Chain A
Amino acid sequence: MLKELLSNKKSIILDRWIQSIDNSYPVETTKFLKSQKDRFSNPVGYSITNCAENLFNELLSSRSIQNYKASLSDLIKIRAVQEFSPSQAIGFIFLLKQTIHNELESEIKAGMDSKELMEIDSSIDEMALAAFDLYMDAREKIFQIRVKELKARLLFNEMNGAPE
């Protein structure tokens, strides 16, 4: 069973995956993300670890988009306001695919059932789509807030006749 195999390799896959997410930040930051585990002193690092772990568990159990979204929400919100292009912001999901393939290299060579692996792959694709939705939600939210602030300012200027 592939699921069993994956849950046996859970910690190594997670480690590798988290490491590759951390690596999308500048080097000095990477270290910080890893070194401080306190949820309040290091919310970004905490979200990465938390999100990766939950996603992986969902991949092995429910594989439901709703649950993916719940696990992804915090981290995607963070990446939506950091200096990432949209593809960079959600691209880390695909790294999970690569990580799994990498870890199962010998099994794949030994001719394991590819159907199960394909199922995993397409579920990770769904994960990415969920991330895309969340990313767009977050960006939309940002622009809503921006519009709200602008509107309030314009309204104020109109009422008050203030310059510019």
Chain B
Amino acid sequence: MAEKKLKPEELAGSIDYKPKQKDWLDPSVEFKHGVFNYGGSPKSVEYLQQPNPRKWQPTDPDWQLPENWKQIILEGLKDRLDRFRSLRIFMDICVRCGACADKCHFFIGSGDPKNMPVLRAELLRSIYRNDFTLAGKLFGKFSGSRELTIDVLKEWFYYFFQCTQCRRCSVFCPYGIDTAEITLLVRELLNLVGVNIDWIITPVANSFRTGNHLGIQPHGFKDSIDFAVDELESITGVRVEAPINKKGAEILFITPSADYFGTPHYYTLLGYLALFHEIGLDYTWSSYASEGGNFGSFVSHDLMKSLNAKMYAEAKRLGVKWIIGGECGHMWRVVHQYMDTLNGPADFLEVPVSPITGTRFENTKSTKMVHICEFTADLIKNNKIKLDKSRNDHRSITYHDPCNIARGLGLIEEPRYLIKNSCNNFFEMPDNTIKEQTFCCGSGAGLGTDENLEMRMRGGLPRANAVKYVKEKYGVNFLGCICAIDKATLPPLMDYWVGGVDVGGVHELVGNALIMKGEKERTTDLRGEPLAGDEKQNV
């Protein structure tokens, strides 16, 4: 046949199947609903005394930036180059080898090339080259540099609020270039001209004022803890104590606020309460430091420090010896890698020693804050608590490593040890989706709202896909995790992609299995759902 065969998509001429291809240096962003977050409310920005409070939305043609916004950003960049070696190094040494390109969950799920970590960083690097390097000045566009324009700024907003700071790419980078670091610094720059998102800045304002992201005031905090105590009693028949702001307690316990106000976080809270009672721990909650999480760490190092300061301040005021921290992801990145530097030294505290087992937590001897999983693992290892695994027999469990926990702390085996000692049915997801290679929930770093739900679903696809696999293969029906953002955002993710998989904390599973002195015979788990044996009896 002489005539050329047309390709199917050419035959179907009228539909535009191929997105327009452009050079990446030409900035262009279209703000479609479902893929971006709304602008920060002026009230919150003002309360925090951050720059340029105003009512605005990313879809507005005019973002109402200060007149000299460009100067502010460039000076801000210069200042950060001088203060962060990481930034200088990451700007200078990337060879664009592409090893990171397909490691980002947003790229895998969205197919948007600017979601390749290398390109996300190039969005900043191109400006850096233009204004701060000789090569950029000599060779212009050939060196990959471009001028900072309002479109570039909009592109920054779009893509740096499409990064969950999960650091998966950094694991694969031969130089360890850390996109989370770049993202945080660009968000800092954007914040200098008042470009931030409400889902982050309002929780920060709340946390600053009331001690927690949700803005719960002290009496509300007490009510919810008291309510949990009542509920735990109705399930177990045991009345526990949950002291708040108690001076002279041995240990201060801090956990993300979602634990006492969100579902399914709440069941993990019941688990903590049961556990602390059973071992007779002398501890206290704090209403002033009633938030483990730190949304400040999604905006700037300064706000991170502001919010984090409450932990040590409260520990000092209450006169405790050391601190235990609950299940949370980014909270632990801050506690593990930043807190001591920002707000230490905690020389008024003692090196943590478990009052139950006598174990000295050498790995926390400077920061003096122990992860609840480390604490409980030590209890189990020393046979200090009794666990009835069969109470979790109605669950087939897999475990999702939260990004910050796996790649920030390397706390990998402790939660698995807890699950294996509390449950009979545990199944791992495939190797390239767990531990240091774990896939993000797609909603971290302050992106977990309904506003950008489509983006979240895309970003969470690689995680959901691995869960689906173990669900089909082993009948997994419970996704364990130790991160508050996970607990909030994995349920809708499972709902959309997988179905029939519940999400919950590891201490919920521990709480289910925990045999308490004086408890009544348990017929339900902490959720009020019938246990495996009882289910059969009911049928």
Q: Which residue of B lies closest to A150 (CB)?
A: B450
Out of B108, B202, B432, which one reaches A164, CB within 8 Å? B202
Q: Do A26 and B450 touch across chains, with their CB atoms under 8 A apart?
A: no
Q: How far is the CA of A96 from the CA of B12 in the complex (A)?
A: 11
Q: Do B454 and A81 touch across chains, with their CB atoms under 8 A apart?
A: yes
Q: Could you tell me the distance in whole angstroms from the C-beta of A18 to the nearest C-beta in chain B?
A: 11
The secondary structure that dominates the A interface is helix
Q: Which residue of A lies closest to B116 (CB)?
A: A28
Chain B residues with Cβ under 8 A from A142's Cβ?
A: 34, 453-454, 457, 496
Q: Do B497 and A77 touch across chains, with their CB atoms under 8 A apart?
A: yes
B466 within 8 A of A: yes
B76 within 8 A of A: no
Q: Do A160 and B16 touch across chains, with their CB atoms under 8 A apart?
A: no
A70 within 8 A of B: no
B175 within 8 A of A: no
Q: Could you tell me the distance in whole angstroms from the C-beta of B450 to the nearest C-beta in chain A?
A: 4
Task: Assign chain A's interface to a size class.
Answer: 35 or more
Q: Do B11 and A41 touch across chains, with their CB atoms under 8 A apart?
A: no
Q: Do B261 and A156 touch across chains, with their CB atoms under 8 A apart?
A: yes
Q: How far is the CA of A87 from the CA of B110 in the complex (A)?
A: 18
Out of A33, A145, A156, which one reaches B496, CB within 8 Å? A145
B317 within 8 A of A: no
Q: Could you tell me the distance in whole angstroms from the C-beta of B46 to the nearest C-beta in chain A?
A: 13
B35 within 8 A of A: yes
Given A44-B461, A145-B495, A149-B492, also A20-B450 (CB < 8 A): no
Among B2-10, B183-191, B231-239, B394-402, the stretch in contact with A:
B2-10
B167 within 8 A of A: no
Q: How far is the CA of A102 from the CA of B32 in the complex (A)?
A: 36
Q: Do B102 and A42 touch across chains, with their CB atoms under 8 A apart?
A: yes
Chain A residues with Cβ under 8 A from B9's Cβ?
A: 20, 23-24, 95, 98
Out of B1, B432, B458, which one reaches A82, CB within 8 Å? B458
* Residue from A25, A96, A160 with most neighbouring chain B CB atoms (10 Å): A160
Q: Do A102 and B110 touch across chains, with their CB atoms under 8 A apart?
A: no
Chain A residues with Cβ under 8 A from B492's Cβ?
A: 145, 148-149
Q: How far is the CA of A82 from the CA of B19 in the complex (A)?
A: 12
Given A146-B450, A160-B215, also A33-B111 (CB < 8 A): yes
Given A41-B102, A160-B216, also A26-B111 (CB < 8 A): yes
Interface residues of B in 94-111 (CB under 8 A from A): 101-102, 107-111
Chain B residues with Cβ under 8 A from A96's Cβ?
A: 8
Out of B6, B19, B458, B462, which one reaches A40, CB within 8 Å? B462
Chain A residues with Cβ under 8 A from B206's Cβ?
A: 162-163
B18 within 8 A of A: yes
A77-116 CB mask vs B (1 if < 8 Å, else 0) is 1100111000110010011101100100110000000000
Q: Do A29 and B495 touch across chains, with their CB atoms under 8 A apart?
A: no
Q: How far is the CA of A156 from the CA of B206 in the complex (A)?
A: 14
A19-49 CB mask vs B (1 if < 8 Å, else 0) is 1100111111100110010111111100000
Out of B6, B35, B433, which one reaches A102, CB within 8 Å? B6
Chain B residues with Cβ under 8 A from A19's Cβ?
A: 7
* Residue from A95, A105, A106 with most neighbouring chain B CB atoms (10 Å): A95
Chain A residues with Cβ under 8 A from B43's Cβ?
A: 163-164
Q: Do A87 and B216 touch across chains, with their CB atoms under 8 A apart?
A: no
Known: A88-B15, A160-B217, A162-B215. 9 other contacts (CB 8 A): A16-B8, A41-B108, A77-B497, A78-B461, A81-B458, A82-B109, A88-B17, A160-B220, A164-B43
> What would be 18 A-B contacts, judged by CB atoms less than 8 Å apart?
A24-B9, A24-B17, A39-B465, A40-B462, A40-B465, A43-B108, A43-B465, A78-B109, A78-B461, A81-B34, A81-B455, A83-B32, A87-B15, A148-B492, A149-B449, A156-B261, A160-B220, A162-B214
Chain A residues within CB distance 8 Å of chain B:
16-17, 19-20, 23-29, 32-33, 36, 38-44, 77-78, 81-83, 87-88, 91, 94-96, 98-99, 102, 105-106, 138, 141-142, 145-146, 148-150, 156, 160, 162-164
**In the complex, the 6 A-B pairs of residues with the closest C-beta atoms, listed nearest first:** A98-B8, A29-B111, A162-B215, A43-B465, A28-B113, A149-B450
